[in-house]
Homo-oligomer: A and B are copies of this chain.
Amino acid sequence: MDTGDRLLTPGEVAALFRVDPKTVTRWAAAGRIGSIRTPGGHRRFRESEVRALLEGEGMLDEVDEGVTDRPRNAGPANSGGPNPMNAGLY
């Protein structure tokens, strides 16, 4: 199936994350995101991986959250998006 093997340019990824293209390059250099280099040295990123990072690689199930009750003090302990990757390291 098509998991989205399209390649995105640093500018595209930067726009998706609302960061500078330079920052995306830094992620690739740091190994936080996979990258493919063109013969000229430019980087390309897999759309599937980028989308996974955007939504929080976890899964796709957050259709509703405590709707019947206001999250007043029932701390869900989650920031809306399941992102277990960099939740603890820093």
Contacts and interface: CB of A to CB of B under 8 A. Distances in A.
Interface of A: 6-9, 17-19, 23, 27-41, 43-44, 53-56, 59-64, 66-73, 75-81, 83, 86-88, 90
Contact of A68 (B37, B38, B77): B77
* Chain A binding surface SS class: loop
B86 A41 contact: yes
Given A6-B18, A9-B18, A37-B86, 9 more contacts: A29-B79, A35-B79, A36-B83, A37-B87, A39-B86, A41-B90, A68-B77, A69-B77, A72-B73
Contacts of A37: 56, 79, 81, 83, 86-87
Given A7-B18, A69-B77, A86-B62, A32 B39 contact: yes
